[in-house]
Amino acid sequence: MERNEDVSRRLKECGLKGTKHRKAILHFMDCSKIPVSADQVYLQLSAQGISMDLSTVYRTLETMREKGLLIKHSRLNDTRALYEYNRMEHKHYLVCLGCNKMLPVRHCPLEEYEKTLEKETDFMISGHKLAIFGYCAECKENI
> Which chain residues interact with DNA by CB under 7 A?
8, 11-12, 16-22, 37-39, 51-56, 58-60, 62-63, 75, 79-81
* Cβ nearer to a copy of itself, comparing 2 with 111: 111
Partner interacting with residue 46 (select from DNA, a copy of itself, none; CB below 5-8 Å by kind): none
* Contact yes or no for 85/32 (Cβ under 8 A): yes
Compute the least distance from the CB of residue 122 to a copy of itself, in Å. 4
* Contact yes or no for 66/24 (Cβ under 8 A): no
What whole-number distance in Å separates Cα of residue 53 and Cα of residue 60? 11
What whole-number distance in Å separates Cα of residue 50 and Cα of residue 87? 25
What whole-number distance in Å separates Cα of residue 66 and Cα of residue 70? 8
Partner interacting with residue 133 (select from DNA, a copy of itself, none; CB below 5-8 Å by kind): a copy of itself
Residues contributing to the site for a copy of itself (CB under 8 A)? 74-78, 81, 94, 96-97, 103, 105, 109-110, 113-114, 117-118, 121-137, 140
